[in-house]
């Protein structure tokens, strides 16, 4: 028994000793890291290095990065500083590196070659130019025996720099890149070398080209990245839906917001509808200042569409009831996509046709508020059916469905009309406004009643010569002009 107790005591002492030794090693490691040049200027905790807004004017040297070996950082944020050049970094397990908003103009060759675990690199909001951004900036390790690209890189953000074009081999060391953001660069047109550069990314799934001043999408631009799923070409100068989108066989998300497209007309060369995008699930066409009309069949190629965002278009007054309808394979009837989320708020719509969506009962989001609605027999279905559907999703959500026309309905909410079971009249098919006839007739009557005494007064004044000063002599003045008084002399002949 005594021997067992002694053995347990020795074992406990050994465990405590090992634990203390581990704690001492960890403490020594922490001290070494905290005493390094980087952690004296930045916040180092766990596996994160935060150098945000530290007033840094020079990028850290390789030896300073090397001092973080024991820490093994996975996330490094150096945004909002003021260094111009990026130099070579040490071999570290960094997965996310943020170098945005630093005024960077140049990246030294092989700066990231030893960051073999890096997944995300953010270089947005800097001053990189086409001339200074070289393919060697993203070059991986290389030796005569073996070539290693940055195999882990998936996300690269180059948004809001000064790139007018891309070197055709810019991404040759990033074969697995899946997400690329080029937004805010003054590309204007996608030239041949830029097309080659982006086409060299076969695994690309997300491409953002927002605010690039693009007027068109060139042929074959979207042919090679066959796995592309999400495309943002919003806030450009596109005047029509790019038909080149048909090359994106796997596209599920498309953002066309803030483009000067005026209308969509099926079979039109200048304003065509959408090509067949059989997998597209989400479409955004919002904040389009010139958009006026969506014609029949122009969205028919989007047979898998689930989320339709078409809001804040101040001129959009017409959406054809068959905008989403496509002729079935037999050619006798129509099929509609099963929309789940519908956003049509803050447009210029006087009403929404019940035939626009095949199944209103399966919608999980309905946003149609803040439109100048006409409350008449054509929108009776909105009062009877759409209001309760909206209310079932969110209480009082239909309060912003306010009548603007006809005049006697102005200010009423459709919810109120639903609650009082109001049946609305049909407007005159020729555009006549009988509700205004009473006011017009009353105005005419008042005008006549006022005109009669005024005319009588003017006639009396004229007859009495009040307008002689203007050359208008009344009868009394004329009679006095021909009258001459006889002389007093009786013998006057």
List the Cα angle 141/192/106 in 5-degree steps. Answer: 45
- List 208's β-bridge partners, or say none: 181, 232
Q: Which three-class secondary structure string do you get for 155-189?
A: EEECCCCECCCCCCCCCCCCCCCCEEECCCCCCCC
Number of Cβ within a 10 Å radius of residue 135 = 17
Q: Provide the pLDDT for residue 327.
A: 86
As a whole number of angstroms, the distance between CA 30 and CA 71 comes to 8
Q: Minimal CA–CA distance to 89: which of 46, 150, 143?
A: 150
For residue 141, whether the previous peptide bond is cis, meaning omega lies within 30 degrees of 0, is: no
**pLDDT band at residue 25, thresholds of 50, 70 and 90?**
very low
* 493 pLDDT above the threshold of 50: no
User: In this predicted model, which residue has the larger pLDDT, 477 or 156?
Assistant: 156
Q: Among residues of the chain, what percentage have pLDDT more than 70?
A: 82
Domain boundaries, the chain: 35-225
Instruction: Encode pLDDT of 92-136 as tens digits.
Output: 999 999 999 999 999 999 999 999 999 999 999 999 999 999 999
Q: Any idea which of 333-347, 423-437, 478-492 has the lowest mean pLDDT? A: 478-492
What letter would DSSP give residue 447? H
Mean pLDDT over 123-152 rounds to 88
User: Considering the chain, what is the average pLDDT of its residues?
Assistant: 87
Token reading at 426? 């049909």
The model's confidence at residue 29, banded by pLDDT at 50, 70 and 90, is very low
**Under 8 Å between Cβ of 70 and 91:** no
Q: CATH homologous superfamily of domain 35-225?
A: Ribonuclease Inhibitor (3.80.10.10)
C-beta of residue 364 within 8 angstroms of C-beta of residue 339: no
Answer with the residue of higher pLDDT: 143 or 285.
Answer: 285
pTM: 0.81
Residue written as token pair 């290389």 = 142
450 — pLDDT class (breaks 50, 70, 90): confident
Whether residue 322 is predicted with pLDDT greater than 80 in this model: the reply is: yes
263-264 and 253-255: which strand pairing? unpaired
pLDDT score of 333: 87
pLDDT at position 28 is 46
pLDDT at 142: 75
Q: Average pLDDT for residues 251-273, to the nearest whole number?
A: 96
- For every residue of 101-134, DSSP letters joined together read SS---EE-TTTTTT-TT--EEE--SS--BTTT--
pLDDT at 246: 93
């Amino acid at each position: 028994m005594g021997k067992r107790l002694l053995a347990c005591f020795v074992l406990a002492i050994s465990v405590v000793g090992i634990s203390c030794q581990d704690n001492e090693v960890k403490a020594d490691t922490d001290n070494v890291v905290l005493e390094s040049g980087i952690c004296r200027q930045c916040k180092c905790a766990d596996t994160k290095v935060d150098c945000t807004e530290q007033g840094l004017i020079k990028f850290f040297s390789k030896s300073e990065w090397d001092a973080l070996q024991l820490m093994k950082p996975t996330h490094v944020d150096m945004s909002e500083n003021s260094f111009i050049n990026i130099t070579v970094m040490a071999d570290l397990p960094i997965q996310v590196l943020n170098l945005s908003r630093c005024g960077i103009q140049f990246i030294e060759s092989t700066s990231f070659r030893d960051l073999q675990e890096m997944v995300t690199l953010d270089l947005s909001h800097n001053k990189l130019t086409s001339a200074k951004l070289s393919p060697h900036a993203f070059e991986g390790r290389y030796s005569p025996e073996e070539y290693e690209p940055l195999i882990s890189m998936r996300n690269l953000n180059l948004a809001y720099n000064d790139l007018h074009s891309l070197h055709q081999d810019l991404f040759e060391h990033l074969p697995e890149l899946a997400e690329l953001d080029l937004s805010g660069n003054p590309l204007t047109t996608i030239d041949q070398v830029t097309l080659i550069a982006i086409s060299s990314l076969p695994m690309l799934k997300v491409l953002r080209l927002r605010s690039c001043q693009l007027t068109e999408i060139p042929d074959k631009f979207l042919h090679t990245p066959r796995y592309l799923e999400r495309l943002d070409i919003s806030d450009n100068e596109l005047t029509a839906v790019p038909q080149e989108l048909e090359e994106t066989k796997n596209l599920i998300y498309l953002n066309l917001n803030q483009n000067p497209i005026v209308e969509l007309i099926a079979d039109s060369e200048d304003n065509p509808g959408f090509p067949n995008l059989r997998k597209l699930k989400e479409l955004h066409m919002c904040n389009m200042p010139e958009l006026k009309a969506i014609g029949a069949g122009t969205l028919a190629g989007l047979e898998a569409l689930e989320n339709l965002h078409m809001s804040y278009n101040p001129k959009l007054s017409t959406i054809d009831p068959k905008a989403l309808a496509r002729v079935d394979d037999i050619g006798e009837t129509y099929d509609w996509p099963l929309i789940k989320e519908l956003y049509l708020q803050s447009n210029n719509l006087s009403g929404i046709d019940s035939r626009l969506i095949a199944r209103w009962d399966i919608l999980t989001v309905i946003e149609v508020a803040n439109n100048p609605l006409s409350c008449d027999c054509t929108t009776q279905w909105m009062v009877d059916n759409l209001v309760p559907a909206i209310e079932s999703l969110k209480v009082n959500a239909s309060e912003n469905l306010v009548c603007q026309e006809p005049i006697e309905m102005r200010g009423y909410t459709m919810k109120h009309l639903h609650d009082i079971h109001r049946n609305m009249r049909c407007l005159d098919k020729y555009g006549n406004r009988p509700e205004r006839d009473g006011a017009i007739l009353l105005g005419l009557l008042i005008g006549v009643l006022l005109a009669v005494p005024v005319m009588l007064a003017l006639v009396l004044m004229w007859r009495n010569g009040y307008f002689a000063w203007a050359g208008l002599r009344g009868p009394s003045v004329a009679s006095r002009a021909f009258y001459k008084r006889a002389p007093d002399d009786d013998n006057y002949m």
